[in-house]
Structure 1
Amino acid sequence: MVKEGNPIIRNPYTADPTVLVHDGTVYLYTGHDNPPPGTDDYYMQDWLCFSSNDLTHWTECSSPLKATDFQWASGDAYASKVVEYRGKFYWFVSVTHAGGSRKAIGVAVSENPTGPFEDAKGSALVTHDMLPFSESDKANLDPTVLIDDDGRSYLFWGNGQCYFAELQSNLTGLASPIAVIDLPGFAEGAHIHKKNGIYYLAYGYGYPEKVAYAMSRNIHGPWEFKGILNEIAGNCATNRPAIVEFNGSDYFFYHNGALPGGGSHRRSVCVDRLYYQEDGSMSKVVMTTEGLG
């Protein structure tokens, strides 16, 4: 498929992007909005994968992972994060834990960026009873992971409250207690990345969600709130970012509800250019596809 401006994926409906660059190829992993006709609600049961060498031509890969590939999960494929680590690819996901409505975080692994992926642990990585405190069944949403320069890895996630923990060296367990990060207006959809020695934590802000971000010189904080990076996405109440460098330029992936028949429950992934200021702060995204690739 060839993009015709934003959204870049026009069939099927896609949401909650996470992006990986491997061997000169961009791999875009998304949620899959697939509510039955006449249904105006979230229905997401699997994740999708697309690849591109130029951010213009996109190839859809076979569906690499379903929520029920985790035998301990009952379904529901929420926002996720894929990282490459020691020659393998780890996919951190949020699903509904079997036997209830509470969300849990799992991790799948593959030898290839397009899969097949399989449960790396055989049980949840994070469950509700592990949290310091939360009354929300959706507390374990939207994991994001950073592999730092020294090889240590860190997990951020949450809904209404941002949580943080270090991961074990095999990425299938926690190596630290779960901490709480105080971020203004934190809703969900966290994304962590690092550039030029600075850590950036972007997230869905308020409701309807904008994207805000904070900066730090230390993965453990303190975090300095920097403001709004992206305004409310058109015809869509949620807003989950993914930020990546490709071929010397920086890009901001997100979703909106702009396609015909689209909306908050039928979303579509988009991409725009991202710029950094001299002080390290990120500029607001210009809503255009000019100059991509």
Structure 2
Amino acid sequence: MNLVPLFCATALSLSVSADAGNPIITDVFTADPAALVHDGRVYLYTGHDEAEVDKPGYVMNEWLVFSSDDMVDWKAEGSPLSLDDFEWANVHAWAGHAIERDGKFYWYITAWEEARGEFGIGVAVSDSPTGPFKDALGKPLVTSDLTENPMNYEDRRILWDDIDPAAYIDEDGQAYLFWGNTNCYWAKLKDSMVELDGEIHQIELPDFVEAPYIHRKGGLYYLTYSKGFPERTAYATSESLEGPWEYRGVIKQLAGNCNTNHQAVVEFKGRDYFIYHNGGLRTGGSFRRSVCVDYLRYGEDGSILPILPTEEGVVSADEPLER
């Protein structure tokens, strides 16, 4: 992401179009998706792009939640979390990721902290996947003084490599947090889910930019991420979350009129889905993005087959797939 001045914008309606196809949300601009499955529903967590038409810049003040029981019809659950919920955060409600543990839901977010002059990763907690969420710490969980090689844009005094968190809980119950811009970081989380446990590590990945995301399939761990700029989606695999990671290539090309790619992967009712954003709405673009969903498929060797974005999207998870 490029940090540029903010502009005021009027929030759009949070209703959801009943029409199937991509983008899946058409009445509000959504970006940076994350998803989890809970009690037979998929919960989609997104950022909210509010930039005005023809005024470049990321204007993001809150996060949104949607839910679905079939991956086609999405219910708007409102905005259970915003910058106002973090006393330390000033602007830039950027990418986040939600995860459930022991009946509580933890939402890791990116925001700008004016006091430090940098981006930080915060965490909010709720008893429900739709909130309300509250700041679990009263301060960022991750700041640049914890990481070895912070990206420092001295001309604008920006520290912003601590963005785009993604959490994962392994089969043995150990939780991990991945994040980064230019540098890809990971660390273990304590059982509380609001404290790092031990040292912070780095992963060397070709042209890593941002948006790390972890999922597992068939005994392999998959780390998808945004590569280069404008961004493509690439991935690596490993037999352990702690590596080593083997780079496997690009799976999704440029998102048309949108400079960024940011993905989530979810398995629901026996099908694998790739969730991403583009600038596909009529007045969309790099700062007015929209979430889409297509199928994720694997080769016999465990490779991820190229993601081919479609206008049609997916069919109801309760309907049979055409063969």
TM-score w.r.t. the length of structure 1 is 0.97
Deviations 1:50-91 (A, max 9, x none): 111111111101211002311111121111100011111000
For the residues of structure 2 that align with 1:5 and 1:291, how far apart are their CA atoms? 9
Report what 1:121 is aligned to: 137
Shift of 1:290: 4.6
For the residues of structure 1 that align with 2:298 and 2:53, how far apart are their CA atoms? 42
Report what 1:239 is aligned to: 261
Which has the larger displacement, 206-215 or 128-137? Answer: 128-137
For residues 275 and 38 of structure 1, do their structure 2 counterparts lie closer, same or farther at Cα, with a shift above 3 Å needed?
closer
Report what 1:193 is aligned to: 215
Deviations 1:71-124 (A, max 9, x none): 111121111100011111000001111324310001000000000000112211
1:1-293 counterparts in 2 under 5 A? 1-136=17-152, 137-288=159-310, 289-293=313-317
Do the aligned partners of 1:272 and 1:292 also contact (CA within 8 Å) in 2? no
Amino acid at match of 2:214: I
Amino acid at match of 1:178: I
Amino acid at match of 1:195: K
Structure 1: segments with no counterpart, 5+ residues: none
Give the SS at the match of 2:193.
Answer: coil
Give the SS at the match of 2:117.
Answer: coil
For the residues of structure 1 that align with 2:116 and 2:283, how far apart are their CA atoms? 32
Do the aligned partners of 2:236 and 2:246 also contact (CA within 8 Å) in 1? yes
Do the aligned partners of 1:132 and 1:179 also contact (CA within 8 Å) in 2? no
Which has the larger displacement, 128-137 or 52-61? Answer: 128-137
For the residues of structure 1 that align with 2:203 and 2:67, how far apart are their CA atoms? 33
Shift of 1:38: 4.6
Do the aligned partners of 2:50 and 2:59 also contact (CA within 8 Å) in 1? yes
Deviations 1:239-262 (A, max 9, x none): 001000000000000000011111
Give the SS at the match of 1:68.
Answer: helix
For the residues of structure 2 that align with 1:80 and 1:263, how far apart are their CA atoms? 20
Give the SS at the match of 1:77.
Answer: strand
Do the aligned partners of 2:149 and 2:183 also contact (CA within 8 Å) in 1? no
Do the aligned partners of 2:53 and 2:283 also contact (CA within 8 Å) in 1? no
Amino acid at match of 1:62: G
Shift of 1:286: 2.7
Q: CA RMSD in A?
A: 1.2
TM-score w.r.t. the length of structure 2 is 0.88
For the residues of structure 1 that align with 2:26 and 2:256, how far apart are their CA atoms? 15
Amino acid at match of 1:76: H
For the residues of structure 2 that align with 1:61 and 1:101, how far apart are their CA atoms? 32
Shift of 1:37: 4.9
Do the aligned partners of 1:235 and 1:263 also contact (CA within 8 Å) in 2? yes
Amino acid at match of 1:59: K
Amino acid at match of 2:21: G
Structure 2: segments with no counterpart, 5+ residues: 1-16, 153-158, 318-323
